[in-house]
Amino acid sequence: MASGKLLRRLIKTGTEGDVNAFHEASVEVIREEREKRHHLLANDLEKILYGRRNAARPSPILQERLPKDKERGLPLVRVREPFRRLEDIVLSDENCSLFEELLQEHHRDEVLKTHGLFPADRVLFCGPPGCGKTLGAEVLASELGFPLAEIRIDSVISSYLGETAANLRQVFDFISTVPMVVLFDEFDALAKERSDEADHGELKRVVNAFLQMLDGYEGKSLLVAATNHEGMLDSAVWRRFDEVLIFEPPNLEQIKKLLSIKLRGIRREFDVQDCRIAGLFKGMSYADIERVLRRAAKDMVLSGNEFMSERHMLAAIQREDARRRRFKNGS
């Protein structure tokens, strides 16, 4: 909690009606809480001080304006309301700091603009599957009060010559109209290395068109590109992004934190902070661990138990191991 001296200053300026001094004291409180690594509290205080944007629920009018592929009539974008918040994601210390900076820049964009500066609006998420990239985009949208727009790569990429670039132009025109967090998942499909001789000229033209649109983008949305194959990205892609975040499988402490989050409200016979319990999930991604915990919870409920036991988790882990072996063997 903020120091007594700072709290007295905050209350004094508030009761005296000194708006500027109250604002300065509030900023100091937020800064002090961030220094103490009370990030959730600092975020909430910023929202109160600067005001949260409109609710993230997409309007019916926005849904009606979704761009469509001319070839098949399929929507090119899926817009939905984000639900999960910062407390629902486990991040490395570095990514946590980068998330905090992104949110602060967008919460205080007007302050930046008065100095001729703008918040980061192009971010690249890299890392193996199941390590939080998609969830990270949803969390950013939820914290900013924006809808989440997911670009449907399967619809954007067309078999007709020139149509993929035309679809991309529709997408960029659409996301420029309303502030959103826009997720380009499987980004490598649109920005693959152009020197790859195995690809034909059309794909190279798509990459050229996409990079030009990215350069020319001036909308109010935050663009998030996510890839499991960063090594496949064209070398010219990297400099187009303001920030690059690497998402990796969880370490032991991050597993403990994820267990605490996912097992909130579930009565259990074990301590989620027990290193031995967390060690059972070593080598799994966040998505793998969530899947195991869902299976364990179902087993607990269907077997009529009031408490989740280590036995429920071990059975679920065995099923997950069998599942992974099947995928690995290609069957």
3-state SS assignment for residue 192:
strand
pLDDT class of 194 with cuts at 50, 70, 90: low
Establish if 300 belongs to a structural domain: yes
Please list, residue by residue across 257-290, b when 16 or more beta carbons sit within 10 angstroms of its beta carbon and e when fewer do: bbbeebbeeeebebebeeeebbebbeebbbebbb
pLDDT in tens, 80-127: 989 888 989 999 999 999 999 999 999 888 899 999 999 999 999 999
Note whether 91 and 175 are same-domain residues.
yes
Note whether 147 and 172 are same-domain residues.
yes
Note whether 266 and 203 are same-domain residues.
no
Note whether 97 and 183 are same-domain residues.
yes
* Residues 6+ positions from 269 with CB-CB distance below 8 Å: 307, 308, 309, 310
Token readout for 59 is: 């309007």
The domain total for the chain is 3
pLDDT in tens, 31-88: 787 777 666 677 667 767 765 554 456 666 677 788 888 878 888 999 998 988 898 9
Among candidate residues 226, 246, 266, the one where a domain is terminated:
246
Q: Contact, 103 vs 140, CB < 8 A?
A: yes
> Which stretch of 49-53, 192-196, 319-323 has the lowest confidence by average pLDDT?
49-53
Note whether 93 and 206 are same-domain residues.
yes
Note whether 39 and 181 are same-domain residues.
no
Note whether 64 and 16 are same-domain residues.
no
pLDDT in tens, 277-295: 999 999 999 999 999 999 9
Establish if 317 belongs to a structural domain: yes
Establish if 55 belongs to a structural domain: no
Q: What is the DSSP letter of 181?
A: E
Note whether 82 and 44 are same-domain residues.
no
Note whether 38 and 154 are same-domain residues.
no
pLDDT in tens, 220-258: 899 999 999 888 888 888 988 999 999 999 999 999 999
The span from the CA of 267 to the CA of 181, in Å, is: 36
Among candidate residues 207, 222, 246, the one where a domain is terminated:
246
Establish if 241 belongs to a structural domain: yes
Note whether 105 and 229 are same-domain residues.
yes
Establish if 260 belongs to a structural domain: yes
Edge-to-edge strands, sheet with 77-80:
77-80, 148-151, 181-184, 222-227, 122-126, 243-246
Among candidate residues 221, 246, 271, the one where a domain is terminated:
246
Note whether 232 and 97 are same-domain residues.
yes
Domain region containing 281: 253-329
Note whether 41 and 86 are same-domain residues.
no
